[in-house]
A and B are shown apart, each in its own frame.
Chain A
Amino acid sequence: MDPILFTSPGRIRILLVPVHPIKASTFQKHVELVKNFNVVKLGDVTPDMRGSQSMFSPALFHEGQLLFNFVTTYDVEHTYLEEFQLHRRIFGVIGIMDCQEWPELTDGYRKFAGILKNYPSALAHRCFAFDPSEHQPDDTKGLIMIPTVGNMGFYMSTMICDFASTILTEFGSLVETIESKTFIESPKVPSLFSSPLLSPNGQLPSHRYSTPTISFTAPDLTSPQTPSFPLTPPSQVLTASSIGSMTAAANAKDQFHGRSFSSSTLATLSNPSSIMPTSMSDLKLKRRTPGRVQKLLADLYLLAGRLPDAVSNYYSAIETTKSNSDYLWHGAALEGLCVSLVLLAYLHADIGPQVLQAPPSPSVSQSSSAPSSPTNPKPLWADIAEKYLNVITLYAKTSNSINNQVPSIVYTEACLKMSKMLACIWLAGEWGDEALKMIVHGVMPTDKAVREKWGLSQVSGVSRVEIAQWAMKGYGIFVEEMSTTEQIHVNTSLASIFSSINFQRKYAFFLRRSVFLILPLLSRSRLPLAQAGKTSIVEDDRLLGNLKQIVDIYGVGDDDEDQKGELSATEEDAQNNFGWPDIQINVLKDAIMISESIPDFHSIAKYTSRLLRRLFLYLPREEQHRLSVSLPRIVGLAKKQDIDMQIKYWGINVVREVRVCRPSPKEIPYPHSGKILSQSDVKKEGNDGPFIYNPFSKKNAETVQTHLVANETAYFIVVLANVYAVDLEIQSISLSTEGVPFAPNVISTTIPANTSVNVKLSGVPTEAGELIIRGCKIKIYGCIEQEFYVYVPPKEEEIKKEDEYGKRVKKRHVHHTMWLAFVMWFFYYLTDICLNQSGLAILYRHRRDDSRASTGTTSSQEKQQMEFLRVTVIPDQPLLKIKSTSLMHRAIMLFEGEKTEMTIALANIGKTPIDFITLSFHDSTIANAQAILSSSDIPPEEAYEMEFYAHKQSVFSWNQSDQQVNLLPGGEWLLTINVFGKRDCTSGTIQIDYGYLNQEQSPNNDTFYTRQVFYPVLLTVNRNLEPLAMDLSNFKPLPDVSSNDSVQPIEHMRQIEELLRAVDASGQTLDKSRLESEYCLLTFDIRNVWHVPFDVTFTVDEGASGRVVTNSTTIQPLSTSRIVLPIQRISLTEGEVTKPIPSILDKQFVVSKAPKGTAEQERLQLALFWYRETLLKRLTTSWDCVSFVLHTVVVRQVSLFLISILNKRTFR
C-alpha cells in the first residue's frame, strides 16, 4: 500500500508474517488473498460484548468502514513516530502458515507465538493456517484453519470481521493508556539519541552531509518569506547542535544513515525513558498534553471508522492545541481532520453540514488567508488544500522549536499526500466518486489515454502546476538529510506522482535520483548473494527497466537501431537533435555506471554504444577512445562469466559510397546489338548519324555503364568515412551482394580518425546476370561482422534542381538585403509560432510517425527511393593479346603513296574461344581534316577534296578473309594489314574488336560484347615525287611527222613519238584529224625530290572507247621530267555539269557562308569540278622503285595520286 496515500491515517496497519518454513510464492499467494479483505463494513463487525469497553463499538456508526492496511514489511525507522501518528503502529499481526510444511500444527503455533514477541505494539493476532490436509486436527487454540474447499471468501471475511472486532475492543484499552499518560512527547528523530559508540565506522562522512556550515545556514536562508512558498525545512540539525558538538552531530548523522536495521538499536530508540525533558518544558508539556490526547483519540476514532466522532474530536483537539500554540500537534490534528472529511465524503455520510460548519469555521478561517464563506461553498478538495497549506505553515513554525520540531518525513509526507490527492482528482477529471475512490484506495488508472494526455487540465480546476508545486514543497534540502530509505521513499513517491500527471521530465529526474539511492543498497546486498552464486534477477530487471525509462525521457532512448541492425547513414540521422546533449551524456554515463555495478553486460554495451553513436560530437577524444576501448573489454568480461555476447558496431555507417572501378581499356566489354553483325557495324561506331549535332548520342565514354564479366575479378572503390576521433580498425571488409553468385575477396584496413579513405575491393562474379551491391560486410575490432548498406545517391539532375533553387533563394537574399531584415523577422516570427508544439510532444510524435512508417505503406515508398547499386554481369569474355608484330618499335617509314604490309600475331590468353574479330583504324590525318572541315567555311569543292583525302584514302586496310575465325584459348592468329603512305600522316591506331558470339547456339539478335585491343603505329611518310606545272593544251599533230623530221626539235619529236606509240599500243591507229578533234594534251613536270630513281607509269583510261594509253619513264634523283599525255577530250552534258558537289560523308547539308559569286561564276566552278573529277577518273599513275636497303631488294608497287596537286586551271 502506498505510504503517501492520503487516507493512510485512516487505515489500521496489520502485519502479515510468514511462519517459516513457507515457500515465498505460497506466502505471496496467501498475502494477496488476505489483502482482498482490507475493507470491513462496521455493520458487519460483531459488536463487542463487553459493555465497559465499548467505546469503539461499531454499532454507533453503521455506514462506517474499517480499512486495513495489510503489510508484509514496515519501516522500523519510523517507530519513533508511532506515538505521534498512530496509524504507523502495528495493531495486529496475522501469521500465515502453510499446513503442508508443518505436520504438527501446535509446533507451528508455538513458533508464531514466538514471532509475536517481536511486535509488542500489536493489539491482536491471528494465525491463519492455509491448505490443511484431512488428517490434521483443528484443535490448536488460536490457530485458524482456512479450508481450501467451500466458500472460502465468506469464511475469510468472517474471520477478518472477528479480527476487527478484537482490535476495536483493544482500542478501548489503548485509549485508557493514552488518557492515563501525564506527558505526551513530540516525536524525536531518533538518530540524535543513539550513542556515537554504536556508529559502525568513524570515517568522515561524505561532504554532502558533513558540510556543517551549509547545513546550519540553509534553514535560515530558506525560511519562509512568502506565503505562496512556505518551504521551511524542519531542521533537526539545530537540535543536534544543542546537544553535542558539531562533529558528534555529524558522526551521529552518518551513523544514522549507515545504520542497518538491527533490533537492538531500535530498542534503545523506542525506549521513552531515554528522553529527559527539562523542567522548563515539563510544565509546557503538561499543559499541552490534553490537546494531544484528544488528537490521538481522534486518530483512534478515525482508525475505528467512527468518522463523526473522529471529526468532533479533531475539532476539539485543534481548539486546544491552537490555544497552546502547539503547532506540531495542531497541524497533525488538521491533517487527521482532512482525512476524516475525505472519508466521510467517500462514504456519502450525511453528517456533513452541521458538524463541518459549526466548530471549525472560526478556527480555520482565522488561520487560513482566504476565509471560506458559507454562501459560496468551495468544493471539499479546495477546502482541504487550504487546510493543508495551513498544516504546512504550522509545521514550518516548529522548525525553531527544540522539542516539538516536526520530523522532516512527516512534513514531506504531508506535502506529498496533498500532491497525490490533487493528482488523483486531476486524473479523475473532476471531484467526484471516481476521484474519491482513487484517493481512498490509491488505485491509479493505468490506461494509455490518461497517461498521454497533456496540455490544459480538466474542469476540476486542479492544475498540474499546483500538483507539482505541492510535490516540490515536500522536497528540500532536508530530504537529503534523511536516511537512505526515507530518501528512496520520497524520491520514488515523487516520481510516481509526476508519472501519474505525465510530467515526464520531472518523473525521470526523480526516478534517476531514486535509482542512485537504491544502487548502493543493492550492491551491498549483492555481495553475500554473489558469493552464494545467486543474483536477484527481479530487482536488477526493475532497475534496468527504470534506466530504460529514464534514458527514454531524456531523448536518448531506443532508436530501434539495436534491433534493426541497420546503421544510420549520416551524422544528421544519427542524432535527431532532440534533447539536451550534456544531460544525455550524463544520463547515459549514469546508465553505464549502474549497469556496470549490477553488472549487466548487455546494458553496458547497449548504453556505451548508444553514447558513442548519438553523442560523439559532444565527447572529447579521450572519452571516445575510452568508450570504444571499453566495449571489447566488456565482451571479454562477459566471456569470463560464460555469457556469450556479441557487440554490434556501435557507430554510424562507415561506408559512404561504392562504385564500380572501370577496368583497364583492353578489358572493357563494349555492348553491341546483335542484329547487324558485320565489320561495318563495328567500324561505324565513331560515326553517329548524319546530323552534326545529335542530342541523344552519349557524351563521353564515362557515362557508358560498366559491365562486369563473369569469372573475372571485378574491382570496386569503396569510400569509408570515420567521424570519430578514434581510429577504426577494420579487421575484415568485403562486399556484400545479392543476385548472381559473387565471391568477394576480404581485406583489412584502418580508417584514421576524422578522415575518409578509399579502399579497392575485389571479387569474382561467377555467373552472368544482375549483381546487386548491398554494401559491405565489415568486422570492426571488437564487434561482430555486420552488413553496412549503401544506397545509390540521388540522380545528378535532382541535386542540380535543388542547387538551382538554393541559388535562387540566395540570390534573392543578396538582392534584397535592404528590406530583408523586416521580412525575415516576420518570417521567423511565423515559423517560430509553427514550432509551437514542443518538447516531449515532438519526441512522441516522432515515435508515432516511426511506428506508423514501420508498419504502414510509407516505408515501401521510401524503400523504393533508396536503391542499391545494380551492376550487370555479362557472360565470360575472351581476352586477346598482341603477341608480336612485324614492325620494329611500332614504327614504319613509307614514301608517299607507298603500299606495304604488316602482320600482327594475336594470342588468346583468356579461357573462352574467339569467333569474331574485326578491325578498325584511325590515323592522325582524319582528325586534322575534320577539324578544318568543321571549323572554317571553305568552298564546297575544297571541302570535297578534304573529305576525300581524309576518308577515302585510308592508311590501313584489311582484307577480311571469309574464313571463320575460331581462336581457341591459347591459340594464335596472324593478321595481315595493308599500310599506305598517306601524306602528312604521322601516326595511326589499329583497333581490334573481338568477342565470342557463339552464333550456333544463341540467336542473332542478342546483345553481344566485344573487347578491344589497340595497336598504335608511328608513321613517317616521306615525299618522293612532286608534280608541277600542270597544263592542258590542244593537240595539234604535225602535218607529217615521218617525212619532214629535220627541222623539229629533238625533244618535241620524241614526245610525239611516245604519244603515238602509246596510241599504237592500244592496237588502233588514229588518223590525225581525229586526233586533233578528239584529243588534248595533259602536260606536267614530275620532280624527284628523293635520292633514288623512280620508275613512273601513267595510264590513261580512254573511258567509253575502252582504250588505255600507258606511258612510263624513269626519273632520276633530284631531276625533273616533263610528262605529256594525250587525253581524249571530255565533254559532259549540261545535266552532269550542274549537279551539286557531293559530300563523301553522308553529312547534313550546311549552307555555305562563303562569299557567293555571280551565277555565271558558280556555274563555271561547278563545271570545273565535274570536268576535273572525270579527268581524274581516267588518269592513273604509279611508280616503282628498286632500292637497296639493308641489302634487301624491296620492290614497291605504289599508286601515285596526283589529284590533290592538280591545279584548278581550266582545260578547255
Chain B
Amino acid sequence: MSYYFVIVGTKDNPIFEAEFTSTGRGSGSEAIRRDEHKHLNQFIVHSALDVVEELQWKSNAMYLKSIDKFNEWLISAYVTAGNIKLMLLHETKNEEGIRTFFNECHELYIKMLLNPFYEVNSPITSSAFDTRVRFVAKKYL
C-alpha cells in the first residue's frame, strides 16, 4: 500500500512531495515498480488538477474527497483558502483518515506560512515539516 502526497502551488508547481509506504512490505520488485511509477504518479496528480479546479468552486468544504481515479489509484484533494492544493494518491478508500490527514497537513502548512522567511508558492525544504507530515501520515493513513 503506497501513498503519494504532494502540495501543489498556484502555478501547478509542486511545493512539497512525499511518498509513504506502509511498513514491512518492501520487497525488491515492489521498489522497482514504485520507482517506475513515481513519474507516473506526478503525471496522474497533475492531470487531476483539472478536476480540482472545477470542483473547488462547487463545494464549500476544503476537503474535496476522492475526485479522480486512474487505473487502481484514487486521487483525493484538499484546497486551502489560498488555493494551495493538497493532493493524495492512494489505492484504497479511507475517507475519514484522509480527511484528518489533510486537516493536519493544512495546519502544518499554515505554520509554515507563518515563517517570515518562507514565501508563498516556494518549495518547502524544511525537514521538520517533512518529518511531521510523515508522522501524520503514519498516524492516519
What are some 27 contacts across the A-B interface (CB < 8 A)?
Answer: A454-B53, A464-B54, A465-B51, A468-B50, A468-B68, A498-B50, A503-B54, A577-B121, A579-B11, A580-B13, A581-B14, A582-B14, A583-B39, A824-B113, A824-B114, A825-B113, A825-B114, A828-B82, A828-B120, A831-B82, A831-B120, A832-B82, A832-B120, A833-B83, A835-B10, A839-B12, A839-B53
A838 and B43 CA atoms in complex are apart in Å by 18
Q: Which residues of A contact B53 (CB under 8 A)?
A: 454, 838-839
- Assess A475 versus B71: contact at CB under 8 Å? Given A505-B47, A508-B47, A582-B14: yes
Does more than half of chain B's interface fall in helix, strand or loop, or is it mixed?
mixed
Q: Does A1155 contact B (CB under 8 A)?
A: no
Q: Does B70 contact A (CB under 8 A)?
A: yes
The 6 closest A-B pairs by CB, nearest first: A832-B82, A509-B47, A503-B50, A838-B10, A506-B47, A835-B10
B residues 3-35 in Cβ contact with A at 8 Å: 8, 10-14
CB proximity of B28 to chain A, nearest CB, Å:
14
Q: Closest residue to A821 on the B side, CB-wise? A: B114
Cβ-defined contact, B13 with A835, below 8 A = no
Q: Which residues of B contact A888 (CB under 8 A)?
A: none
A residues 733-747 in Cβ contact with B at 8 Å: none
Cβ-defined contact, A222 with B12, below 8 A = no
Cβ-defined contact, A578 with B114, below 8 A = no
Residue in A221, A222, A579, A824 whose CB lies within 8 Å of B13: A579
- Assess A578 versus B11: contact at CB under 8 Å? Given A464-B54, A465-B54, A821-B114: yes
- Assess A583 versus B120: contact at CB under 8 Å? Given A218-B72, A828-B113: no
Residue in A465, A477, A820 whose CB lies within 8 Å of B55: A465
Q: Which residues of B contact A472 (CB under 8 A)?
A: 68-70
A1050 and B57 CA atoms in complex are apart in Å by 128
Q: Does A58 contact B (CB under 8 A)?
A: no
Q: Which residues of A contact B39 (CB under 8 A)?
A: 582-583, 586
Residue in B12, B51, B54, B116 whose CB lies within 8 Å of A840: B12
A842 and B83 CA atoms in complex are apart in Å by 13
A472 and B68 CA atoms in complex are apart in Å by 8
A229 and B54 CA atoms in complex are apart in Å by 19
Q: Closest residue to A498 on the B side, CB-wise? A: B50
A residues 809-830 in Cβ contact with B at 8 Å: 813, 820-821, 824-825, 828-829
Cβ-defined contact, B49 with A824, below 8 A = no
Q: Does B136 contact A (CB under 8 A)?
A: no
Cβ-defined contact, A839 with B10, below 8 A = yes
Q: Closest residue to B122 on the A side, CB-wise? A: A577
Q: Closest residue to A506 on the B side, CB-wise? A: B47
Q: Closest residue to A472 on the B side, CB-wise? A: B69
Q: Does A226 contact B (CB under 8 A)?
A: yes
Cβ-defined contact, B11 with A465, below 8 A = no
Interface string of A949-970 (1 = CB under 8 A from B): 0000000000000000000000
Does more than half of chain A's interface fall in helix, strand or loop, or is it mixed?
helix
Cβ-defined contact, A583 with B93, below 8 A = no
Q: Does B110 contact A (CB under 8 A)?
A: yes
Q: Does A1117 contact B (CB under 8 A)?
A: no
Q: Which residues of B contact A832 (CB under 8 A)?
A: 80-84, 113, 120
CB proximity of B16 to chain A, nearest CB, Å:
12
Most buried by B among A580, A582, A840: A580
A residues 556-612 in Cβ contact with B at 8 Å: 577-583, 586
Q: Which residues of A contact B91 (CB under 8 A)?
A: 221
Q: Does B58 contact A (CB under 8 A)?
A: yes
- Assess A842 versus B120: contact at CB under 8 Å? Given A506-B50, A832-B84: no
- Assess A455 versus B82: contact at CB under 8 Å? Given A503-B51, A579-B13, A582-B42: no
Q: Which residues of A contact B11 (CB under 8 A)?
A: 555, 577-579, 838-839, 842-843
B residues 82-141 in Cβ contact with A at 8 Å: 82-84, 91, 93, 110, 113-114, 116, 120-121
Q: Does A1154 contact B (CB under 8 A)?
A: no
Residue in A231, A824, A835 whose CB lies within 8 Å of B69: A231
A838 and B116 CA atoms in complex are apart in Å by 23
CB proximity of A253 to chain B, nearest CB, Å:
18
CB proximity of A31 to chain B, nearest CB, Å:
36
Q: Closest residue to A504 on the B side, CB-wise? A: B50
Cβ-defined contact, A579 with B82, below 8 A = no
- Assess A475 versus B70: contact at CB under 8 Å? Given A225-B93, A579-B13, A840-B12: yes
Across chains A and B, the number of contacting residue pairs, with CB separation under 8 Å, is 139
Most buried by A among B49, B50, B81, B83: B50
Q: Which residues of B contact A825 (CB under 8 A)?
A: 110, 113-114
Q: Closest residue to B68 on the A side, CB-wise? A: A472
Q: Which residues of A contact B42 (CB under 8 A)?
A: 580, 582-583, 586
B residues 30-79 in Cβ contact with A at 8 Å: 39, 42-44, 46-51, 53-55, 57-58, 67-72
A-to-B contact residues, CB < 8 Å = 218, 221-222, 225-226, 229, 231, 454-457, 463-465, 468-469, 472, 475-477, 480, 498, 503-506, 508-509, 512, 554-555, 577-583, 586, 813, 820-821, 824-825, 828-829, 831-833, 835-840, 842-843
Cβ-defined contact, B57 with A456, below 8 A = yes
CB proximity of A215 to chain B, nearest CB, Å:
12
Cβ-defined contact, A477 with B12, below 8 A = no
CB proximity of B121 to chain A, nearest CB, Å:
7
Cβ-defined contact, A824 with B10, below 8 A = no
A538 and B4 CA atoms in complex are apart in Å by 40
CB proximity of B53 to chain A, nearest CB, Å:
6
Cβ-defined contact, A476 with B71, below 8 A = yes
Q: Closest residue to A827 on the B side, CB-wise? A: B113
- Assess A824 versus B116: contact at CB under 8 Å? Given A231-B69, A579-B11: yes
Q: Which residues of B contact A508 (CB under 8 A)?
A: 47
CB proximity of A1080 to chain B, nearest CB, Å:
87
Cβ-defined contact, B47 with A463, below 8 A = no
Q: Which residues of A contact B13 (CB under 8 A)?
A: 577-581
CB proximity of A507 to chain B, nearest CB, Å:
8
Cβ-defined contact, A833 with B81, below 8 A = yes
Cβ-defined contact, A839 with B49, below 8 A = yes
Q: Which residues of A contact B93 (CB under 8 A)?
A: 225-226
A84 and B68 CA atoms in complex are apart in Å by 32
CB proximity of B93 to chain A, nearest CB, Å:
7
A658 and B4 CA atoms in complex are apart in Å by 49
A840 and B47 CA atoms in complex are apart in Å by 12
Cβ-defined contact, A222 with B72, below 8 A = yes
Q: Which residues of A contact B57 (CB under 8 A)?
A: 455-456
Cβ-defined contact, B12 with A555, below 8 A = yes
Cβ-defined contact, A835 with B47, below 8 A = no
Cβ-defined contact, B116 with A813, below 8 A = yes
Q: Which residues of B contact A221 (CB under 8 A)?
A: 72, 91
A586 and B72 CA atoms in complex are apart in Å by 23
CB proximity of B103 to chain A, nearest CB, Å:
17
Q: Which residues of A contact B83 (CB under 8 A)?
A: 832-833, 835-836, 838
CB proximity of B42 to chain A, nearest CB, Å:
5
CB proximity of B117 to chain A, nearest CB, Å:
10
Q: Which residues of B contact A503 (CB under 8 A)?
A: 50-51, 54
Cβ-defined contact, A465 with B70, below 8 A = no
Most buried by A among B54, B57, B81, B121: B54
Cβ-defined contact, B49 with A829, below 8 A = no
CB proximity of A228 to chain B, nearest CB, Å:
9
A837 and B56 CA atoms in complex are apart in Å by 12
Q: Closest residue to A582 on the B side, CB-wise? A: B42
Q: Which residues of A contact B114 (CB under 8 A)?
A: 821, 824-825, 828
- Assess A583 versus B116: contact at CB under 8 Å? Given A455-B57, A475-B70, A833-B82: no
Q: Closest residue to A828 on the B side, CB-wise? A: B113
Q: Closest residue to B64 on the A side, CB-wise? A: A465
A463 and B50 CA atoms in complex are apart in Å by 12
A455 and B110 CA atoms in complex are apart in Å by 27
Q: Which residues of A contact B46 (CB under 8 A)?
A: 505, 509, 554, 580, 583
Q: Closest residue to A585 on the B side, CB-wise? A: B39
Q: Closest residue to B80 on the A side, CB-wise? A: A832
Could you list 20 further interchain pairs (A-B, Cβ under 8 angstroms) beyond the known A813-B116, A838-B83?
A: A218-B72, A225-B93, A229-B69, A231-B69, A465-B51, A465-B58, A468-B51, A468-B54, A505-B46, A506-B47, A506-B51, A509-B47, A577-B121, A580-B13, A580-B14, A581-B14, A824-B114, A833-B81, A835-B83, A836-B10
